[in-house]
Structure 1
Amino acid sequence: MEMSETEMMLKGYGLTTAEFFYHMPDYVHVLNTFIWQDYDIAPDHPRLFEFVEFWQEEIDGPLHSVRFNHRKLIAPGEWRNVVGEFTLH
Structure 2
Amino acid sequence: MQASPEFRKQLEGYGLTTAEILYRLPDHPALLQSYIWQDYDVFPEFPVLKKFLGFWETSLEGPLFKVTVGHQKLIRPAELKAIGAEFRLH
Counterpart mapping for 1:31-50 below 5 A: 31-50=32-51
CA RMSD of aligned residues (A): 1.2
Larger Rg: 2
Q: 1:69 maps to what in 2?
A: 70
The amino acid across from 1:70 in the alignment is: H
Distance 1:56 1:27 in 2: 18
Q: How many residues align?
A: 75
> Which segments of structure 1 move beyond 2 Å, counting only runs of 4 or more?
none
TM-aligned CA deviation for residue 66 of structure 1:
0.3
Counterpart mapping for 1:74-89 below 5 A: 74-75=75-76, 77-78=77-78
Distance 2:5 2:50 in 1: 22
**Where do 5+ consecutive residues of structure 2 fail to align?**
79-90
TM-aligned CA deviation for residue 5 of structure 1:
1.0
Identity %: 45
The amino acid across from 1:72 in the alignment is: K
TM-score, with structure 1 as normaliser: 0.80
